[in-house]
Amino acid sequence: MQLNDTQYVCLNGGSRLCFATYGAEDGVPLLYFHGWPSSRLQALSLDTIGKELGVTIYAPDRPGLGLSENIKGRTLHDWPHLVSDLLDQLNLPAVHLMGVSGGGPYALATACELNERILSTTIVCGAPPLAELEDRSEMIWPYRVLLRARPIIPAILKPAIPLTKWIASKRYNQPPLSWFVKTLSPADQEVLNGKEADDFALFSFREAVIKGAPGLLSDADAYTNRWDLDYSLITKPVHFWHGTADRNIPFKMAKHLAAQVPHATSHWIEDEGHYSLPIKHSRAIITEMLNA
């Protein structure tokens, strides 16, 4: 398949799913689940590494994000069925999975429900099951504000759409994004002021908000609703990667989640943050995946 950052498949339910392909042509297949708020373009940061290591990266926009059509009322458990449809249409019998940040829960759900089609699962700075964690005091303040405001967000969606797009038009050294950056670890502040952050975070963030706030909200509900996943269904390798200096998703939350997945392998990286770890350690992460 020709590599391209804007391709579509029509799912069984009738909606269109947009996805991108990066890396090597006809390489080892890796299905990449982007963070939140993000899009398929986040995987562009792996293009060169994929070519060098012989990996083809397939990165779909989840419904309502980027260019994928929204599916009203979808839940975390709907995603594996969409993935199965996507794999069928791409003629991919089995793939490796990688979920980054907000893509982590979607990767775990897929690994549980499509175990026979998954070669391995890698969770990088993955979001935790917040419904199980009452203490969120160590999360950065923007995240805590969003969590508290969740009940009233539907009432303010319409005015929030232009505001969200305006924020996405800024750079990380400009307000209001610069205010957010100042809440992060030194490692994250350093990488977000560099060129690599454009490929990993900025461009994909701008793409994510094209369709407005409803898709962003339904995607984020996966983190606050109960997951109800049976991790014992996963028989293939699972690797967790997390930075000890991650302030978006505190390290102890990642440890709590990893401890629930039988036979998971953990990679706790000292002094790395939420953005610095995937930007600086992607080659090691994919190499470990290939050895699974």
**In the chain, pLDDT over 70 holds for what percent of residues?**
92
Mean pLDDT of 242-271: 95
**For the ranges 6-15, 125-134, 240-249, which has the lowest average pLDDT?**
125-134
- pLDDT tens string 149-195: 666 555 555 566 677 777 778 888 888 888 888 889 999 999 998 87
pTM listed for this prediction: 0.92
pLDDT band at 1 (very low <50, low <70, confident <90, very high): very low
Mean pLDDT of 227-231: 96
- CATH homologous superfamily, domain 7-290: Alpha/Beta hydrolase fold, catalytic domain (3.40.50.1820)
pLDDT for the residue numbered 152: 53
Q: Give the start-to-end residue ranges of the domains of the chain.
A: 7-290
97 bridge partner residues? 31, 121
pLDDT for the residue numbered 46: 96
- pLDDT tens string 103-154: 999 999 999 999 999 999 999 999 998 878 777 777 776 677 666 666 655 5
Q: Chain-wide mean pLDDT for the chain?
A: 89
pLDDT for the residue numbered 200: 79
pLDDT for the residue numbered 161: 65
pLDDT for the residue numbered 146: 65
- pLDDT tens string 30-61: 999 999 989 999 999 999 999 999 999 999 99
